[in-house]
Structures are given as C-alpha cells and as structure tokens.
C-alpha cells in the first residue's frame, strides 16, 4: 500500500515537488494525500495541517538554496562572488519555482531564527566584506541585493521581460555590473 514508508521528510519532499508542479499556493495536505493515494487522516501523524506542510517546504527550500549558495561562493570574491550568488537565486527560481516561492513564506520568529535564512544573510555579508562596507551600510546593502535579486527573478518568471529586446540575460548581466559599481562606490551617509 502507498502508506508504507510515509515520513515527514518524504511528505515534505513530495510537497516541494508538488509546489514546483502546481505552485506553492496550491499545496495542501489534501492534495498531497491524493498524490500518495491515501486518506488525508493518514498524513496527520506526520503533518499538523497544510500550513505545517508549507512551512516545512519553506525550510527545505531555504536549506537547499543556502547549500547551493555556499557551494557557488567557495573561492570567489568581489563581483565574481556577487554574480555567483545572484545566479544561484535565479537558477533555483527557474528550476524550482514552487520552492522558490516557498522561500518567501513569512515564518514565525522562532522558526525563522532556526532556519537556513540566517545563512543567506551571512553569505551576502561575506560578499560585502570584499566591498569594505561598514554597518549600517552593510545591512542596507544586504536588503538592496535581496530586493534586486528577488525583484528581477519575480518579474522575469512572471514574463515581464519576455516582450522586448534585449533579452533578459543581457539585462541581468548589466544589473550585476551596476550592483558591483554601486557597492564599490557606496555613497557616504
């Protein structure tokens, strides 16, 4: 029977795959039960509810993205590191659109603090050390980079750049150049 082997981890991974297929907002315990051909009640020994499932998918996605980011940053600095991390976010969003959407889920403070979200900030701060930004400028720059990466990726995935030339890759490259120049010449307060 399909019920054999169900674990919280297996259900979370299946939920993440489902999110990539149908969209993160469409992921529910009921939909997951249909995928495993089991009754919804069978999943409640592993998951509290659909919000618990979505939170677990968000945590998985944050962890995957942090692992990819760390691997991409190894041995890199400056613009090369900036571009590598930005490309990780963009590529992950393209390959796993539902999981990427899950990374934007608002988590309660305790869950957020225990998540890989902090690693994302640490990686960005590691890049910024190469630009020699003091606090609070470093925090402003972390927020700027996150906003640009997420904003660009969201617009691109929504088809916002598909209707005109030049192609979005050229604009992405120019955006990385502009961010690098801005960080090198960060304005004084």
pLDDT, position 2: 41
**Can you tell me the distance from the alpha carbon of 50 to that of 8, in angstroms, rounded to the nearest whole number?**
13
Low-confidence ranges of the chain (pLDDT < 70): 1-4
**Can you tell me the distance from the alpha carbon of 22 to that of 115, in angstroms, rounded to the nearest whole number?**
25
Contact 98, 23 (CB under 8 A): yes
CA angle at 55 for the pair 50 and 60, rounded to the nearest 5°: 125
The pTM for the full model equals: 0.92
What are the distances in angstroms from CA 178 to CA 31, 47, 126, 132, 186? 43, 45, 19, 17, 12
Q: Could you tell me the two tokens for 106?
A: 């608002």
pLDDT, position 3: 52
Helices (H) and strands (E) in the chain, counts: 10, 0
pLDDT tens figures, 34-45: 999 999 998 999
């Amino acid at each position: 029977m399909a019920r054999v082997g169900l674990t919280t981890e297996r259900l979370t991974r299946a939920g993440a795959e489902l999110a990539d297929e149908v969209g993160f907002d469409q992921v529910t315990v009921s939909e997951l039960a249909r995928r495993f051909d089991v009754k919804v009640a069978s999943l409640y020994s592993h998951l509290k509810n659909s919000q618990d499932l979505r939170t677990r998918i968000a945590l998985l996605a944050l962890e995957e993205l942090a692992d990819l980011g760390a691997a991409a940053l190894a041995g890199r600095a400056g613009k090369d590191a900036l571009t590598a991390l930005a490309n990780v976010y963009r590529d992950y969003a393209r390959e796993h659109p539902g999981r990427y959407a899950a990374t934007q889920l608002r988590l309660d403070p305790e869950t957020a603090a225990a998540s890989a979200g902090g690693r994302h900030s640490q990686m960005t701060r590691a890049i910024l050390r190469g630009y020699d930004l003091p606090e609070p400028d470093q925090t402003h720059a972390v927020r700027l980079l996150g906003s640009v990466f997420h904003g660009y990726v969201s617009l691109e995935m929504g088809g916002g750049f598909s209707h005109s030339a030049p192609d979005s890759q050229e604009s992405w490259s120019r955006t990385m150049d502009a961010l690098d120049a801005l960080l090198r010449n960060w304005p004084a307060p």
